[in-house]
Every structure is written in structure tokens, then in C-alpha cells.
Structure 1
Amino acid sequence: MNSTASPPRIVPSVLPADFSRLGDECRLLERAGVDRIQWDVMDGVFVPNMTMGPDVIASVRPLVDLGFEAHLMVEEPDRMLRHWVDAGCEIIIVHAEATRHLHRTLDAVRELGARAGVALNPATPLSAVEHVLDGIDLLLVMTVNPGWGGQRYLASMEAKISAARDLIARSGRDIELEVDGGIGRGTIAGAARAGATTFCAGSALFRERAHLAEEVTALRALAAQAAPGPASHDKDTKEAA
């Protein structure tokens, strides 16, 4: 079964969390019913911001049962892949722009026992992953330029999401299609309509700490309502072919 038929997944980024009580924040997310947690790893080189290291993630790992994904916004990610897997991340997402030999990097992630993901910046075409789909478990289409939370959603990326959905369908592989950046009540339907099934939200969730479970439920419902049905997807795939 292709991932386009999967129910919507809500994956919060902890970038806007209170880092002084990160464990409590992650427990709060778990109680709210999110599907897993994304850790935004930034090195101050690939993007201007800097965030957490693997020791921080490892310290939270025993506190929740949720899956972890590491979104590596770093140069030369190959040097540090094992650190994030050892910290407890089941999915490792690298940027196509950050590695010279992407296929080799994806193989290395899988050899470590993790699922391999690739993220594409807004300006990066889908052709960057077209010939490595056999090594990809997750494709992340950035709907902002990475580096900071709270940015405005780029609706122009919806055409790219739709093209990614069709590329995945033609591949015959069960590749999860995720979007990240500016996702909230006003934008999630557009991304879902285009074909995304996993939605990384940060600021929109943490603004609603007092009503976090309700916000997660609302986002999931909006995505489910907007998702293209099987008939629409089959039609789009045939037209693309």
C-alpha cells in the first residue's frame, strides 16, 4: 500500500519548546496524541541557527514511548549519523543539499537500523531524489526555508508536494510524504490536499499548550478532510504517466 493512503500523522517539532523543561514538554505532546516527535538539529553552518546535540535527545528518550525523528540541518551529516541513532531516533532525515553522495548516506542510515529520510529545501527540485528513491523511506518537502521556527508557510510548495506524491506513486514504494514549515490550522488543508500525509508543526502547537490535545485533534481532522481520495489520486497518477 502506498503512503498516500495513510491516515494523517501529526509530528511536532520541539524547536519552540521550553528547553529548560524539555522532558515535560515531550510528555505533554505524548498525552496530546501526537504520532512522533521531530528533533531539529542545526549546526550553525547549513542553517544560521544552532540547536541540540544527541545527548539532549538521549536524555528524553526514556521519558516517552513516541518515535523520534532527527531532522539534520547540518553539513556533512555522514560523520554524525550514528550519534542520532544511538540517541534513540528511529528516522534520520538528511538534506539532499548537504551531502555529496546522497545514495551512500541513505545506505549508511539504513545500515544503522534506522529509516532513511531526505529533506528538500524550497528551491531544490524533486530531481535531486528521483534516482535514489530505492533508498528512501520518507521524503520531507520543506514549506519554509529551514533554520528558524515561526516562519510563513510557502503555499507555492503545494505544487511540489503534489509532484512528489505522483513521483512516489509511480515508484511503487511506500515512501512517507512529510511537510515541515508554517503548518497550522490555516495551512494544513492545502498541504494535505496536495498529497502530504505527515505534518510537522511547531509554533502552531506550542501556542496552544493549554489546549494541546484539541489542537492536535483539529489539525489531524483538517488534514483528513482535505486529503485526496483514492479515485482522485489514481486519476492524477494516470495523467502524470
Structure 2
Amino acid sequence: MKLLAPSILSADFYRLGEQIEAVIKGGADLLHFDVMDGHFVPNITFGPVVLESIKKHCNIPLDAHLMIENVDKYIPEFIKAGADMVSIHIENNYHIHRSIELIKSLGAKAGVVINPGTPLSLLEEVLHYVDFVLLMSVNPGFGGQKFIPRSLERLRRLKEMVNAINPKVLIEVDGGIKEENILEVARAGADILVVGSGIFAHQDVQAQTRKLKNLLISSEAL
């Protein structure tokens, strides 16, 4: 089943609760949290307090993408706050296996993230241990960026790697996914599709979420 994960990075924070309710009513499967610290990526977003507040009123899984330094220090805080899925970057985690095992030991699904310019070959060993891989289709740091076309080829190659090494691993794709390309990304092998401005830039957030979810459902019927 293809899963839709709205990214609250693109939400109107003045109306955050209202917009989260809208995407849930629209059929969202997960909520995606882009956590940035201003060091690993050039932006600062939010921490575990925000996630904890949302968890109290949210009945779908919370997916925390940690674009931060010193992840082992913060992984327990995000899981305690309510993260059901936690993903960390392969580029800045020198003991990736230890961090993945930490996430799992605390009861969350563990994922590894790979940036557009990083060779997929670096994932070969870690695929034995993770629950999902997050393939970035933009350079991390800011919402609203354009989908990098080569990401489709990388996604197809990653799908082949996953099928050969650990078919249970889900593939998540984040960056520049909108109504016009969501079907293509889904058909190329994505299991979880993260959408930010492609949902929250629309006036009717609930209707747009429903539209994209229906597109994903149709992709599985083909």
C-alpha cells in the first residue's frame, strides 16, 4: 500500500492544528516532521516539544526526519515525545548501526536518509538493519524545492537494491513531490511519499490531501 505523508514544514504554523486535522480527514497515513538544527542543514525548524504537542491530538503515526548533528543525543527525546518513525542521515552519522539499533531499542521504526549527491552504494550494508530508507529528491534544508529529475533513476536503482538485500525495507521519497509527478514517483518504487507545499500551498488542504491519496490508490490498481 502506498502511504501519503504530509510534511508540516510547509504548513501555515498559525493554523497548524487546523491544517493537521484537515490532512488527517483527507486521508493522510503519516505526518512527516523535518527537524533541522542549523548545522547539518542551513535552516532551523522545531524540536520534540512541537511533536509531543501534536501527538496528544493525532491518531496517525509521526515520522521524524532528523537533519541534525549528534543524533544519538536527541533520538530518545523524539521517541519519548511520540515519534513512531525516526530517520537519520548516512552522511553525518559515523556509527550508523549503533544509532539504528538505538532507535529500535526505544520502540520506533528506524530509517536511514540519503541525499541526492550521495552514492546509493553506501546503503548496501545498512539495508540489512533498517525498516525504511528515505531518498531525498531535493537537497535538504528548505521546503518548496523542485524535484531533481535524476531522483527517479536513483529510486529505481534503490528499489532493485532493496529487493535484492532486504525486501521488507520500505522506500520513502521526500522533496518536490506534487500532483503532477506523484504517480510517476509511486510507480518508480516509492512506498511512502512525502508532500509539503504540494498539499499545504492549496486553499483546501483537506481536498488536496484526498486528491493525492486517491491518486496513490489508483497507482496500485494499475
Structure-1-length-normalised TM-score: 0.87
Q: Return the letter of the residue paired with 1:213.
A: Q
| Deviation sequence 1:12-38 (CA, Å, 0-9, x none) | 000011223322222222111100101
Alignment of 1:107-146 (within 5 A): 107-146=101-140
Deviating 4+ runs (over 4 angstroms): 224-229
Question: Matched residues in 1 for 2:210 and 2:49: separation?
Answer: 31
SS at match of 1:63: coil
For the 8 Å contact 1:10–1:201, the answer to whether it is kept is yes
SS at match of 2:9: coil
Alignment of 1:88-103 (within 5 A): 88-103=82-97
SS at match of 2:113: strand
For the 8 Å contact 1:27–1:63, the answer to whether it is kept is no
SS at match of 2:134: strand
Structure 2 residue aligned with 1:157: 151
Q: Return the letter of the residue paired with 1:217.
A: R
For the 8 Å contact 1:120–1:140, the answer to whether it is kept is yes
Structure 1 residue aligned with 2:206: 213
SS at match of 1:108: helix
Q: Return the letter of the residue paired with 2:27.
A: G
1:16 aligns with 2:10: yes
* Bigger helix share: 1
1:79 aligns with 2:73: yes
SS at match of 2:86: strand
Question: Matched residues in 2 for 1:205 and 1:36: separation?
Answer: 14
SS at match of 1:98: coil
Question: Matched residues in 2 for 1:23 and 1:225: separation?
Answer: 29
Question: Matched residues in 2 for 1:209 and 1:76: separation?
Answer: 38
For the 8 Å contact 1:189–1:227, the answer to whether it is kept is no
Q: Which segment drifts farther, 178-187 or 215-224?
A: 215-224
Give the alignment partner of residue 43 of structure 1, picking from 23, 33, 37: 37
Distance 1:106 1:228, change over 3 A: farther
Unaligned runs of 5+ in 1: 1-6, 230-241
- How many residues are paired up? 222
For the 8 Å contact 1:195–1:228, the answer to whether it is kept is no
For the 8 Å contact 2:175–2:195, the answer to whether it is kept is yes
Q: Return the letter of the residue paired with 2:67.
A: M
For the 8 Å contact 2:120–2:158, the answer to whether it is kept is yes
1:27 aligns with 2:24: no
| Deviation sequence 1:125-179 (CA, Å, 0-9, x none) | 1111110112110111100000000000011111110011111111243111110
Q: Which one scores higher on RCO, CA 8 angstroms, separation ≥ 6?
A: 2
SS at match of 1:72: strand
For the 8 Å contact 2:26–2:206, the answer to whether it is kept is yes
| Deviation sequence 1:206-232 (CA, Å, 0-9, x none) | 12242x333223323434545697xxx
The percentage of aligned residue pairs carrying the same residue is 36
Question: Matched residues in 2 for 1:203 and 1:106: separation?
Answer: 30
1:177 aligns with 2:171: yes
